[in-house]
Structure 1
């Protein structure tokens, strides 16, 4: 049988590819058929603002309908909103047309389980098997129906504001001024609506949902210069930077300085554990700031392989009140079973309201580490051979081999792993003073001749 996955990147969260190359309307339709057959019931479909989104949305919907699934179209909506909608409206699944932080030429499909979380690796394999085996469609009388819902963001916001950790009135009393950079993505309208519900004066930065991405799509400090300037010029209390599908959140302090996406989760964990102490789950590449914060409350941090569903499943096992990923992904299972920037913004505002201190001071109280990230790629890279060299080199040290190789040295660590979504090897290191030596050591091993 023809391999229909050529040019696609397949991970536990779904598929991604460059539109017109690995990812085409035909692929989206075929995955829609496979997913519709797997769910056996109604599916919510949403998308981010990429110019190719509507084309792929229509193709995926056609596949779902031909498999007999009814479809609820949510329109342009944050990824976490789709998860929230599936969970609280009791649907059989969800599909999000997005490539998250990837460049504008990319797009993808993220598949959501009936529980309102992304598919596990095993569930994803079941869908992929159906995809590879070919369409299994019903007759004309079995074709599904389409319904429109335009209130998904409102439902999501209500769930966030109904959290036991949130006091909307206390936030409103502070009258925060907030600069919001949504990179013209799916969080442009929902993010602004949430902040206005919380009584905030919103300074919009890149909040036209046209999907043209006026800055780099990742909400990392080097991409948030305009948000920093907006905070300074307008005297904002905080700046919030989102990625295109609004599941990740970065912070800019009242001083107009991007503090780094790792601080989002650390601050959220400190706030939540002060209300509800309990275990915390994060991925293997998350800053050890979270472990230090958890230690203040006498609770343990558990690490899971990269991929938010892996973290979520560990959180559910532990009944953890808070967790997530250090790339700005906050997971509050009381509200949502995935990374959620609306949850993150609300928790940060609640923390600021209760602490009655500026964000810069709250950040200054966190432990200080230096994190450095690098990528290794070259034509014809044999990733397995490269990873074997890494395992051999560090064989006598404290290793975690569940997701690539993670080495711990006292209060420093380095994590080397093949990317789930791109053809390269990622290296993340963290130390108290400098992570350069760890990065250089690993890159030297990767650059050795495969022979």
Structure 2
């Protein structure tokens, strides 16, 4: 298994300089602190010493080192409170960003000095590190996800493999902020670094290779549980035997299944992807496979996926083997490897095409709900809810397509505010009520979370789609796609030699704004989002009165309701739009039968200095979504201008 070994000599020595003069000033630390975005989804900012977004330098500088030390110290205090009778044991891992090594150095020293037992597998994909952390007391994962290369930060979690919920992160943010604002912040950080025994740091360094091996092994075991949907090995093993035998039949028929990855130098390049796929009988190819060599823009959206699409087309059209010529899917993860959006081969057009994030999630939902029925975990009498009850949990800007899909299976949909932690915690609430929640996630951002995982993972997304393609009709009953066609009343669409494009075309028709397009990110001057939404309410009510008839004619919008999402709480029918505060606000439109027909949505980003907006519209007409988004943009900007 390839493993990107960090420069351990740098790890041992890189922050000794903070222990000597000149120390950073208090003002230096405050200037370094000011651009930090602190949220449940992660703490992040440009950590390259220059502060420039695209600076590939590994150097973070002394002021940022002080921040890193206090980040670790805040989590160490939190862990000691959680485990008062023993020494806490944690996993510290990082993605492949240049500044990760110096952040890891500072944080590991601070953890060790704070009497925390550190296990350091070095560079590891986020799902990999978080699977490993299930055997410890928690994790600190150093990453800035999809942000530009000079950005970095950290996510904290416990032994459930997911990031801390918002109310717990708030405790850490308070402690960390107080420590950074303290007049003695520099001296306290320096004292903590000085208290780290060099032999203890050397031991962490020495064990890193063994930790990485154990991390990969734990991840593979956990991946088998997640993908199969089974807890017991006696049930997991038959599932993978079915996958291998079905893949072998496809190969014998001359149509083997293969996938291609554009790793883009991410942490996934040193993970289990290749060996795991091949162990299931699926061919695997990759580009940009050297960990740390980031070849192009990190965010796995839009043009970033074009490189994977080009390689998929090359394999299909110029491949020298049957495996190459039958590559059906491609994916590109972000830097921490917890999200991988998809490209696919469209047999009708003869092109490699990029799936939209909302489509990826919708296909995954179809696959995993079909899989629950295939495994006979849930069942349904037509026209009634499934038994036992099941739900899909999503964030509030996920397309209403998910309600259309879930309804076909008799499954509920629950919505939380944007943020992986919010979605994971709402899913836990529903499980505590007796619901089966197999799949959850942020459809607006791509990828999915498949229980018992508590973080997105491209392997789980890929296998959702691959299960649809591999598990076909046999003597024991219909395959996954056939089950979906039957549930959705589209039996006429089913054919024996179906493709992923056939499955895609069977999805309910909705058009949704991509969160990563420029038009979805507004720059506003108002800092009080509650006040902005109150001003927006006045504008919207005026506009609705003026345009109600034309909206009904063009979009079938007959009525609307306002919905707020704050944390795990959704409140429908709010009378004051400002009640949503910094959470999500949605204007959901209804047709004459009171069915959802579209929405307008807004929320300030918790990880970037932008105000996000989206529109969702039933049907296939992209121009309608464009008009809704333009309307929403004009209303938000007008509301912003009205605030002095």
TM-score of the superposed pair, with normalisation by structure 1: 0.92
Q: Is the 8 A contact 2:268 2:336 kept in 1?
A: yes
- After TM superposition, list the pairs within 5 Å mapping 1:28-427 onto structure 2: 28-40=68-80, 41-87=88-134, 89=135, 91-134=136-179, 146=204, 147-148=207-208, 149-151=211-213, 152-163=215-226, 164-165=228-229, 167-169=239-241, 170-171=243-244, 172-173=247-248, 174=250, 175-190=256-271, 191-212=273-294, 214-235=295-316, 236-255=327-346, 256-276=352-372, 277=378, 278-319=390-431, 320-326=437-443, 327-334=445-452, 336-355=453-472, 357-373=498-514, 374-378=519-523, 380-384=525-529, 385-394=531-540, 397-402=560-565, 403-410=583-590, 411-427=597-613
Tell me how far 1:379 sits from its aligned partner: 7.3
Structural RMSD (CA) = 2.5
The CA distance in 2 between the partners of 1:316 and 1:379, in whole Å, is 35
The CA distance in 2 between the partners of 1:61 and 1:98, in whole Å, is 15
Tell me how far 1:77 sits from its aligned partner: 0.9
Per the alignment, in what secondary structure is the counterpart of residue 74 of structure 1?
strand
> Does 2:66 match 1:26?
yes
2:319: which partner in 1?
none
> Residues 404-437 of structure 1: CA distance to partner in whole angstroms, max 9, x if unpaired?
3111113111210000101110011111232122
> Does 2:632 match 1:442?
yes
Q: Is the 8 A contact 1:176 1:201 kept in 2?
A: yes
Q: Is the 8 A contact 1:50 1:211 kept in 2?
A: no
Per the alignment, in what secondary structure is the counterpart of residue 447 of structure 1?
helix
> Residues 19-69 of structure 1: CA distance to partner in whole angstroms, max 9, x if unpaired?
136772221121011111111211101111111111111111112112111
Unmatched 5+ stretches in structure 1? none
Tell me how far 1:199 sits from its aligned partner: 2.5
The CA distance in 2 between the partners of 1:231 and 1:219, in whole Å, is 16
With over 3 angstroms needed to count, the CA separation of the structure-2 counterparts of 1:417 and 1:242, relative to structure 1, is same
With over 3 angstroms needed to count, the CA separation of the structure-2 counterparts of 1:37 and 1:300, relative to structure 1, is same
Q: Is the 8 A contact 1:285 1:306 kept in 2?
A: yes
Question: Which deviates more from structure 2 when the two are superposed, residues 418-427 or residues 36-45?
Answer: 36-45
Q: Is the 8 A contact 1:160 1:346 kept in 2?
A: no
> Residues 391-410 of structure 1: CA distance to partner in whole angstroms, max 9, x if unpaired?
44346941112223111113
Q: Is the 8 A contact 2:42 2:144 kept in 1?
A: no
Question: Which deviates more from structure 2 when the two are superposed, residues 160-169 or residues 146-155?
Answer: 160-169
Q: Is the 8 A contact 1:157 1:342 kept in 2?
A: no
Q: Is the 8 A contact 1:179 1:203 kept in 2?
A: yes
Q: Is the 8 A contact 2:523 2:611 kept in 1?
A: no
Structure with the bigger RCO (C-alpha within 8 Å, sep 6+) is: 1
The CA distance in 1 between the partners of 2:402 and 2:121, in whole Å, is 35
Per the alignment, in what secondary structure is the counterpart of residue 332 of structure 2?
strand
Q: Is the 8 A contact 1:46 1:96 kept in 2?
A: yes
The CA distance in 2 between the partners of 1:377 and 1:162, in whole Å, is 41
Question: Which deviates more from structure 2 when the two are superposed, residues 74-83 or residues 190-199?
Answer: 190-199
Q: Is the 8 A contact 1:394 1:407 kept in 2?
A: no
Unmatched 5+ stretches in structure 2? 1-25, 52-59, 81-87, 180-187, 230-235, 251-255, 317-326, 347-351, 373-377, 379-389, 432-436, 473-496, 545-559, 566-582, 591-596
With over 3 angstroms needed to count, the CA separation of the structure-2 counterparts of 1:386 and 1:21, relative to structure 1, is farther
Per the alignment, in what secondary structure is the counterpart of residue 215 of structure 1?
coil
Per the alignment, in what secondary structure is the counterpart of residue 586 of structure 2?
strand
Question: Which deviates more from structure 2 when the two are superposed, residues 367-376 or residues 390-399?
Answer: 390-399
The CA distance in 1 between the partners of 2:302 and 2:471, in whole Å, is 26
Tell me how far 1:168 sits from its aligned partner: 2.9
TM-score of the superposed pair, with normalisation by structure 2: 0.65
Per the alignment, in what secondary structure is the counterpart of residue 257 of structure 1?
strand
Q: Is the 8 A contact 1:415 1:428 kept in 2?
A: yes
> Residues 93-114 of structure 1: CA distance to partner in whole angstroms, max 9, x if unpaired?
1011111010111111111123
Tell me how far 1:140 sits from its aligned partner: 7.0
Q: Is the 8 A contact 2:110 2:196 kept in 1?
A: no
